[in-house]
Structure 1
Amino acid sequence: MNHTHATTIVIPTYSEVRWDYLTRTLASARAQTHTPDEIVVVVDHNPAMYERIQRELPGVTVLENAYAQGVSGNRNTGAFHARTPLVAFLDDDIIADPNWLARQIEPFADPTVVGTGGAIQPAWEGPAPRWMPAEFLWAVGGSYAGMPTETAPIRNVWSANMIVRKDVFEAAGGFRVGFGKLGSRNRPEDTDLCLRMSQVDGGRWMYVPGAVIQHEVPVERASFTFFVRRCYAEGRGKVQMAGLHENDALGAERDYLWALPKAMFRYFGAGLTGKGADNFLRSGGVVAGVAAAGFGGVVETVSSKRPSRRTPVEATP
């Protein structure tokens, strides 16, 4: 095996409710055509689950979150433990294609690449919502329409399907502990990490659409109410993130927003020309998503003061 492509897979988890998901994720990690050097499961302040994994899941390294509660600390615990040049992050509710790891490490042949991400396909527990615009699949943790269709540079990827150079990850301080997703709070800790890693030595990220994972979408996350709340939270989170960076951190978001009116009219036009009434619903979904995210951004801008939003990056142990 090429040592420079040796990889540790880190899987954060937190609740025994997700046990079946976790064992399925581990099975797909073990079935990779490029064998990982180590698979690490990090448990978020749940001693009973930590002990159960130790007892029932041999062949994996199990650690307890060494930081405050939250997935950012979970991922940092696993990444700082790793002894390989590359560290891959997967969520505990995914199924990785057997070629996922082999394909997603390919761009690291270029030393300027600091990280990669792959395609995330929603695995709907129930029927896919008729009103869901493909441009908003990010709201349920999926890759969305408008992303590259071939391997290409990208500003940021998502931590559900991410591989990083360990040395650059450590130089950037890892994920910003206390800034990620916890409860109803939804801050883009993965985008924040990508920006900081790119700033370490001018490195870049690559998106590899051929490296595919399936990401579980429970029935409750397929509701319109969840969609609106998620877009609102994203609007607030992106403004919070921008306050942590001196340079313009929201350029990609502006480009994305400019493309949405075209999507709205495209869906509406498809409905008018007899291509399915669901297109009218998707057109409305675009409007609702933009409105909710915009409102969240306004609320955060008005209610927050920049100094209070600055969260220090946890030091590398």
Structure 2
Amino acid sequence: MNVARELPDRRFSVVICVYTEDRWDDILAAVDSVRHQSLRAFETLLVVDHNPALLERLREQFKEEGPGSGRDGQEVRVLANAGPRGLSAGRNTGIAAARGEFVAFLDDDAVAERDWLRYFAAGYDDSRVMAVGGRTEPAWASGGRPAWFPEEFDWVVGCTYRGLPSGRVRVRNVLGGNASFRRSAFDAAGGFATGIGRDGDKRPLGCEETELCIRLARAVPDAVLLIDDRAVIHHRVPAGRERFGYFRTRTYAEGLSKALVARSVGAGKGLESERQYTTRVLPAGVARGLRDAVLGRRGGAGRACAIVAGVAVAAGGYVVGSIRARGGAVTFSSGPIEGVSE
């Protein structure tokens, strides 16, 4: 459903960070979903993370799609990550190259619904709004959610999870794979911190967008950050991520990441939302799972056990990450982005 009223002309640069040829079809689908937006993107930037073969293949794929020559007049540019390996540096490369007033981020294995950018744009009517995120729905490889997998932990597979507020609401942070920012936000707060988020095929860390959003709120005290759950993308969940082994690995990595965020911005803000999540949302999820088990509903006991295990493993990761951070074993950088300022 389209947004009813006409919106001002707002130029969105869409950044898609990519790293492997294994996702070739997903990458093309992501670009195609941007091309079919009801509010046309100004440009799409594909940032390749230290993979020369993929870089060359994408440049060949989009070689005739320079300024004004792309399909539907939308430019596709293919860039090499100019920083260290990892998602944060890739996003920073895209930000530095972007020429739009707003910069949107889309995961390389996701497709955006037609009004994705239009709902983002509507959120910027208020000049205080510095970021707008959306809702990310899982597209399970098996065709449906595993019975044991709790909705409260959909963040494990990069999706919106039970416990987030619905509608268009103010939040502490947006979720990085489905988000947009005013370009000026990066002038004020700098870019994504390297050393927190994902780094190629290493442990699946995260939270780089959380750390950035907290820094942004400190740099611009009256900044408003929103999530509009009408701005929807569909994120592919491969079979390997439907297994408990990945669930365990990802929750542990989240604990490590939260420790880094707390080190960067302080535990007060760094864990503010997580406290309510762990004291209200997760206990309710355990109770719901146990109730379903008593009623003989499939997966209830598994979901309750998965929530308990996820909390325990994440807590263990947080303890280990805190010890490493205090010992100086982990470093990261969140300085300004060259090329962002005019």
CA contact (8 A) 1:21 1:94 kept: yes
Q: Match for 1:285: what amino acid?
A: A
Question: Match for residue 103 of structure 1?
Answer: 119
* Structure 1 CA distance for aligned equivalents of residues 213 and 263 of structure 2: 15
Is 2:288 the partner of 1:266? yes
Counterpart residue number, 1:11: 16
Indicate which of 129, 147, 161 corresponds to 2:164.
147
Q: Is the 8 A contact 2:18 2:48 kept in 1?
A: yes
What are the equivalent positions in structure 2 for 1:281-296 lying under 5 Å apart?
281-296=302-317
Q: Distance in 2 between matches of 1:232 and 1:66?
A: 29
Match for residue 216 of structure 1 among 223, 227, 236? 236
Q: Which residue of 2 aligns with 1:187?
A: 206
Could you say which residue in structure 1 is the equivalent of 2:188?
171
Return 295-304 or 205-214, whichever deviates more: 295-304
Match of residue 156 from structure 1: 173
Q: How far did residue 246 of structure 1 move? A: 3.9
Match of 1:305, as an amino acid?
Answer: R
SS in 2 for 1:162: strand
Alignment partner of 2:246: what SS? helix
Contact preservation (8 Å) 2:188, 2:219 = yes
1:25 aligns to what? Answer: 30
Using the TM superposition, give the Cα deviation of residue 180 of structure 1 relative to its aligned residue in structure 2, in angstroms. Answer: 1.5
Q: Distance in 1 between matches of 2:103 and 2:26?
A: 21
Q: What's the offset of the Cα at 1:52?
A: 1.5
The residue that corresponds to 2:39 in the other structure is 34
Aligned to 2:301: 280
Map Cα deviations across residues 243-298 of structure 1 (whole Å, 9 max, x no partner): 01146121101110002112201221122134x13111111111111111111112
Q: Give % identity.
A: 36
Question: Cα deviations across residues 63-94 of structure 1 (Å, max 9, x unaligned)?
Answer: 11111111111111111111221000111110
Distance in 1, Cα, partners of 2:204 & 2:166: 31
The separation in 1 between residues aligned to 2:30 and 2:205, in whole angstroms, is 23
Q: Distance in 1 between matches of 2:59 and 2:266?
A: 43
**Cα offset, 1:302, TM superposition:** 3.2
Query: Given the superposition, is the C-alpha separation of residues 119 and 77 from structure 1 closer, same or farther in structure 2, using an over 3 Å criterion?
Result: same
**Correspondence 1:137 to 2:142:** no
1:24-48 deviation digits (Å, cap 9, x = unpaired): 1011010000001111111112222
Superposed CA RMSD in Å reads: 1.7
SS in 2 for 1:186: coil
Shift in alpha-carbon separation, 1:281–1:123, aligned structure 2, 3 A: same
**Gap regions ≥5 residues in structure 1:** none
Distance 2:145 2:292 in 1: 19
Partner of 2:54: 49
For the residues of structure 2 that align with 1:41 and 1:19, how far apart are their CA atoms? 12
Q: Does 1:200 align with 2:219?
A: yes
The reply on whether 1:125 has 2:141 as its aligned counterpart is yes
Residues in 1 aligned to 2:120 and 2:61: alpha-carbon distance in whole angstroms:
30
Q: For 1:282 and 1:220, locate their aligned partners in 2 and report how far apart those are by CA, in whole Å.
A: 18
Q: Distance in 1 between matches of 2:287 and 2:168?
A: 29
Opposite residue 236 of structure 2, the aligned amino acid is E
Q: Distance in 2 between matches of 1:134 and 1:306?
A: 35
* Gaps in structure 2 of 5+ consecutive residues: 1-5, 71-75
Q: CA deviation at 1:4?
A: 6.0
1:312 is aligned to 333
User: C-alpha distance in 2, partners of 1:159/1:39?
Assistant: 17
Kept in 2, the 8 Å contact 1:243–1:309? The answer is no
Find the aligned partners of 1:10 and 1:19 in 2 and give their Cα distance.
16
CA distance in 1, matches of 2:239, 2:301: 22
